[in-house]
């Protein structure tokens, strides 16, 4: 949220208009209650994020609000990228499926986990160009809060909760100012055999997948009237986020599983750093744009890829498959109580300054090497 506000107060206002926190005042500083899914919801630990607690939005509606903030004429919908050609001046020509072309001095690809930009930047034959299956899938749903309260009870419906189980978990949290409850039920699976990432399913299949799980988890899945199986993929590796004046941000660079709730926030952090670098007074030529993107890569890639991989780890921990925690709830609690703080308490002003310092170092090295030649 801090990154949103630093990019634009209007973006933060759009988020605040939609965001939902915990329903109970006593839980306002709680990020998530983690509960033993084999029981009636016995508490394992309450993870505290004192600054904000849990804040969630309905992503589709939030995305529409963000589009509404863009000035007319600055964006085009319904385009699908085919290729990016290098121009002699160092810029690019983007080719689209409708046969049209667009010239650009700089390209920033933010086209999601199935990114065409990523394939073009890394090489379509590169193993890093395609998403990796995380060995998990999820059923998802959303129900009116009144129904959720009737099924789960006030506490479990109006506040964020993860039920931990053996090779399974459920996550629930309020959205749209607490009028809806988002439902997620994850299972581990070794391989994904389907061509599509989202496959229609049935209540019978969900009940079979979660047979033997505790009563609260059974109540969660009972509300999934029209379930679909969603394969969970991510991008755990990437050798670079840029080449020349062409860069990747967001899920195109570092798509993550949802187990730390950090993927969307990292896209805003990316945008914050890129914007601050490109608008800096040091950037006065095309060569300086390359320096800016090299600095962006140096500062952002280690942090974001760590988030991708620790999110996978957190999923394993909450499905009782963690290497060091397994099904030991005391060890799981100890891990959960401390594993999020480095994500939440990042000093973004310091990160901006580090990026600008790195850009200056890159520029000076480029100048020195050019003079030496």
Active site residues: 140
What totals of helices (H) and strands (E) does the chain contain, helices first?
A: 14, 14
Q: Which residues of 45-75 are buried (b: 16+ CB within 10 A; e: fewer)?
A: bbbebeeebbbbbbeeebeebeeeeeeeeee
Using left for φ > 0, alpha for ψ between -120 and 50, and beta otherwise, residue 311 falls in: alpha
Q: What is the DSSP letter of 332?
A: H
Burial category of 78 from C-beta neighbours within 10 Å (exposed 0-12, middle 13-18, buried 19 and up): exposed
Q: Which residue, among 204, 167, 166, 159, has the nearest Cα to 38 in the 3D structure?
A: 166
Contact 45, 34 (CB under 8 A): yes
- Please give the radius of gyration of the chain, using alpha carbons only, rounded to the nearest integer: 22
């Amino acid at each position: 949220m801090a990154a949103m506000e630093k990019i634009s107060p209007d973006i933060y206002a759009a988020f605040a208009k939609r965001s939902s926190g915990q329903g109970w005042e006593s839980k306002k500083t709680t990020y998530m209650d983690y509960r033993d899914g084999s029981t009636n919801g016995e508490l394992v630990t309450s993870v505290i994020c004192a600054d904000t607690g849990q804040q969630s939005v309905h992503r589709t509606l939030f995305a529409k609000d963000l589009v509404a903030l863009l000035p007319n004429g600055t964006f085009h919908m319904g385009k699908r990228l085919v290729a990016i050609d290098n121009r002699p001046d160092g810029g690019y020509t983007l080719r689209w499926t409708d046969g049209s072309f667009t010239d650009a001095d700089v390209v920033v690809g933010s086209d999601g986990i199935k990114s065409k930009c990523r394939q073009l930047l890394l090489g379509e034959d590169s193993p890093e160009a395609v998403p990796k299956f995380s060995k998990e899938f999820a059923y998802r749903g959303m129900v009116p809060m009144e129904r959720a309260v009737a099924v789960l009870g006030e506490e479990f419906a109006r506040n964020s909760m993860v039920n931990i189980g053996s090779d399974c978990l459920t996550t629930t949290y309020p959205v749209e100012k607490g009028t809806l409850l988002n439902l997620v039920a994850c299972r581990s699976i070794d391989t994904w055999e389907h061509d599509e990432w989202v496959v229609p399913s049935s209540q019978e299949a969900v009940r079979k997948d979660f047979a033997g799980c505790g009563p609260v988890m059974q109540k969660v899945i009972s509300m999934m009237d029209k379930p679909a199986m969603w394969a969970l993929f991510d991008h755990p590796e990437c050798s670079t986020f840029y080449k020349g004046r062409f860069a990747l941000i967001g899920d195109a660079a570092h798509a993550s599983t949802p187990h730390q709730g950090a993927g969307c926030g990292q896209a805003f952090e990316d945008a914050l750093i890129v914007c601050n670098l490109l608008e800096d007074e040091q950037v006065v030529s095309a060569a300086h744009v390359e320096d800016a993107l090299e600095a962006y890569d140096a500062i952002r890639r280690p942090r974001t890829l760590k988030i991708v991989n620790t999110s996978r780890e957190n999923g394993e921990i909450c499905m009782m498959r963690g290497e060091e925690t397994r099904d030991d709830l005391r060890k799981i609690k100890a891990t959960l109580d401390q594993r999020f703080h480095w994500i939440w308490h990042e000093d973004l002003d310091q990160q901006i300054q580090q990026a600008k310092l790195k850009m200056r170092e890159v520029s000076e090295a480029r100048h020195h090497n050019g003079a030496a030649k």
